[in-house]
């Protein structure tokens, strides 16, 4: 059995179980399968260490970079009735071209000479302003005349007062002289009476002295009366001076009040003139709004209010136009979970609707039909759809976007993030981590777009 001797037993002497030992070697296809598994395992290992570009996908639509380049509606500035259309849908227009002519529908603007009539009112009000100015000037002259008259009367009255004072002084001296004469006459009368009583003088001499005494007494009373009259004249002149001052002051005050009223009326007239000028300008501007003009070069997209004779309200849209010159951009909406991964300047690849493209996730360099862009703005507030709006402009260093793309078309955006190994991306997906969770962490092997670890 162990081939120790040269004697051999016949094959039928071996049990069948022992004969199976010669058949334990593997077939050839088993070795081929092992080699195939080894090759596949090697390919998988190599694949795991290949670079993988993380990305964030988001849907969007084509728009324009600047607000004035986006499709806009042309509105009616005033209420009116459509009388004539000057354009058709799809027609190219230039800035300033007439689009629609409107007619008036409000009764207060029906007068065709409304602007001219308001202008006549302005002219009339300006004339009244001139009249008020002349009246104020006349009142100024009247006030000046009153003041000059007051000065003359005051000077005249003061002269009278001065004359009265001088006359009082003269009358006072006369009273003093009359009193002296009265005293002398009284002494002479007393002496004559004593001599008459003693019989030294005749009666005629005594009577003569008595007449002189009475004459001196009369002159004294007359002098005192004249002094009282002079004093009364002085009081009258002082009173007259005050009356002149008060009366003239009242006249001047009344004239000044009339002057101020005239000036106030003049200011009111000026305010009315300004109001009428505003109304005239508004009426003139309103008439210019009858013709609706194109705000910029573009194409008529759609007429919102077609037909003739339709009544429109102010601010109501009439038609929409697409500007002729615009710079394309894409606004895409990103989930709140992915928003922190994007910053201004981040790279984005786009697949536009109707444009053939082949995109390989993780290897944008081998993709075909995609176009590059850079993030230029990120909204700070969430949109109504629960996502954040991100505006992306074309990348000037990449292939230009197709000219056939128009605003409003659909686009699928792929925001490119960091380059990581495939094994890391698989590990991240399995664990449910967001992209770039460990970006720039030492030892992670993750590289950003500049190639820095």
Q: What is the DSSP string of 279-334?
A: HHHHHHHHHHTTEEE-SSSEEEEEESS-SSS-EE-TT-EEEEEEESS--EEEEEEE
CATH number for position 170: 1.20.1270.60
Task: Round to whole Å and give the CA distance between 92 and 325.
Answer: 12
Average pLDDT over residues 14-37: 59
Distance CA 206, CA 197 (A): 10
Percent of the chain with pLDDT over 90: 14
Q: Domain of 154?
A: 114-288
Range 49-60 average pLDDT: 72
DSSP 358: B
> Any bridge partners for residue 73, and if so which?
320
Q: Is 102 exposed, middle or buried (0-12, 13-18, 19+ CB in 10 A)?
A: buried
pLDDT (0 to 100) of residue 115: 86
Assess whether 302 and 337 both reside in one domain.
Answer: no
Residue with token string 């969770």: 437
Find the helix or strand (DSSP H, E) in which 416 lies.
Answer: strand 410-421
Report the number of distinct structural domains present in the chain: 3
Q: What is the pLDDT of residue 433?
A: 63
Bigger pLDDT: 20 vs 210: 210
Most distant CA atoms of the chain, gap in Å: 240
Same domain, 93 and 133: no
The CATH number linked to 315 is 2.40.50.100
Domain membership of residue 348 (yes or no) is: yes
State both tokens at 121: 């009112």
Could you give the CA distance from residue 177 to residue 344 in angstroms, rounded to a whole number? 121
CA–CA separation, 327 and 329 (whole Å)? 7
pLDDT of res. 216: 80
Q: Taking 90 as the threshold, does the pLDDT of residue 101 lie above it?
A: yes
| Residue 34 placed within a domain | no
User: In this structure, are 308 and 333 located in the same domain?
Assistant: no
CB-based contact 93:298 (threshold 8 Å): yes
Span 306-310, mean pLDDT? 85
For residues 175-188, give the mean pLDDT: 82
* R_g (Cα) of the chain, nearest Å: 62
Residue 314 lies in a domain: yes
Domain end call among 322, 346, 373: 322
In this predicted structure, the answer to whether residue 363 has a pLDDT above a threshold of 80 is no
Same domain, 243 and 197: yes
How, if at all, do strands 80-85 and 311-312 pair? antiparallel
Least confident of 55-59, 68-72, 196-200, 326-330: 196-200
189: in domain: yes
If you write DSSP's letter for every residue of 110-156 in order, what string do you get?
Answer: --TTHHHHHHHHHHHHHHHHHHHHHHHHHHHHHHHHHHHHHHHHHHH
Residue 237 and residue 135 share a domain? yes
Q: Is residue 131 part of a domain?
A: yes
Q: 238 and 316: one domain? A: no
Question: Does 4 map to a domain?
Answer: no
**Pick from 322, 339, 370: which residue ends a domain?**
322
For range 214-230, the mean pLDDT: 85
Q: Per-residue pLDDT averaged across 130-151, rounded? A: 89
355/258 same-domain check:
no
CATH of the domain at 334: 2.40.30.170
Looking at the structure, do residues 361 and 283 belong to the same domain, yes or no? no
Residue 33 domain flag: no
Query: Are residue 89 and residue 172 in the same domain, yes or no?
Result: no
3-state secondary structure (DSSP) of residue 84? strand
**Cα–Cα distances in angstroms (integers) from residue 147 to residues 141, 178, 244, in the given order:** 10, 46, 11
Does residue 93 belong to any structural domain of this protein?
Answer: yes
End position of a domain, from candidates 322, 340, 368? 322
Query: What's the pLDDT at 299?
Result: 92
Do the beta carbons of residue 350 and residue 413 sit within 8 Å?
yes
Q: Per-residue confidence at 34, pLDDT binned at 50, 70, 90?
A: confident
Comparing 195 with 359, which gets the higher pLDDT? 195
* pLDDT value at residue 190: 80
**Mean pLDDT value across residues 379-387:** 87
Same domain, 283 and 168: yes
452 shares its domain with 342 = yes
So what's the pLDDT on residue 450?
43
Tally Cβ neighbours within 10 Å of residue 35. Answer: 10
Q: Which of 21-35, 40-54, 55-69, 134-148 has the highest mean pLDDT?
A: 134-148
Highest mean pLDDT among 52-61, 360-369, 417-426: 52-61
What's the pLDDT at 386?
A: 87
CB-based burial of residue 51 (10 Å sphere; 0-12 exposed, 13-18 middle, 19+ buried)?
middle
Q: 385 and 284, same structural domain? A: no
């Amino acid at each position: 059995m162990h081939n120790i001797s040269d004697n051999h037993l016949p094959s039928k002497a071996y049990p069948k179980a022992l004969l199976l030992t010669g058949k334990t070697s593997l077939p050839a296809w088993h070795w081929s399968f092992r080699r195939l598994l080894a090759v596949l395992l090697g390919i998988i290992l190599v694949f795991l260490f290949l670079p993988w570009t993380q990305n964030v996908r988001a849907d969007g639509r084509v728009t324009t970079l600047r607000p004035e380049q986006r499709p806009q509606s042309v509105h009616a500035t005033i209420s009116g009735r459509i009388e004539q259309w000057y354009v058709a849908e799809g027609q190219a227009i230039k800035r300033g071209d007439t689009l629609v002519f409107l007619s008036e529908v409000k009764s207060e603007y029906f007068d065709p000479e409304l602007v001219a009539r308001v202008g006549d009112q302005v002219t009339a009000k300006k004339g009244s302003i001139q009249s008020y100015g002349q009246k104020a000037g006349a009142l100024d002259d009247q006030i000046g005349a009153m003041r000059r008259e007051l000065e003359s009367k005051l000077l005249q009255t003061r002269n009278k007062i001065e004359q009265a004072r001088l006359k009082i002084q003269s009358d006072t001296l006369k009273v003093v002289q009359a009193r002296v004469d009265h005293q002398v006459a009284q002494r002479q009368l007393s002496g004559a009476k004593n001599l008459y009583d003693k019989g030294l003088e005749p009666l005629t001499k005594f009577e003569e002295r008595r007449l002189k005494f009475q004459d001196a007494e009369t002159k004294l009373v007359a002098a005192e009366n004249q002094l009282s009259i002079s004093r009364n004249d002085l009081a009258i002149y002082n009173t007259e001076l005050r009356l002149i001052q008060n009366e003239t002051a009242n006249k001047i005050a009344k004239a000044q009040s009339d002057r101020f009223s005239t000036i106030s009326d003049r200011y009111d007239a000026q305010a009315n003139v300004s109001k009428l000028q505003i109304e005239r300008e508004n009426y003139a501007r309103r008439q210019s709004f009858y013709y609706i003009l194109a705000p910029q070069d573009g194409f008529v997209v759609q007429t919102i209010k077609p037909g003739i004779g339709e009544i429109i309200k102010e601010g109501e849209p009439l038609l929409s136009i697409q500007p002729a010159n615009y710079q394309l951009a894409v606004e895409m909406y990103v989930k709140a979970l992915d928003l922190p991964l994007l910053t201004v300047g981040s790279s984005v690849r786009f697949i536009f609707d109707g444009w053939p493209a082949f995109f390989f996730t993780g290897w944008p360099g081998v993709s075909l039909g995609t176009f590059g862009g850079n993030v230029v703005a990120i909204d700070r507030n969430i949109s109504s759809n629960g996502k954040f709006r991100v505006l992306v402009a074309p990348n000037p260093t990449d292939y230009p976007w197709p000219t056939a793309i128009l605003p409003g078309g659909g686009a699928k955006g792929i925001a490119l993030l960091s380059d990581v190994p495939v094994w890391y991306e698989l590990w991240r997906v399995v664990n449910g981590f967001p992209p770039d969770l460990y970006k720039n962490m030492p030892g992670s092997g993750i590289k950003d777009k500049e190639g820095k670890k």
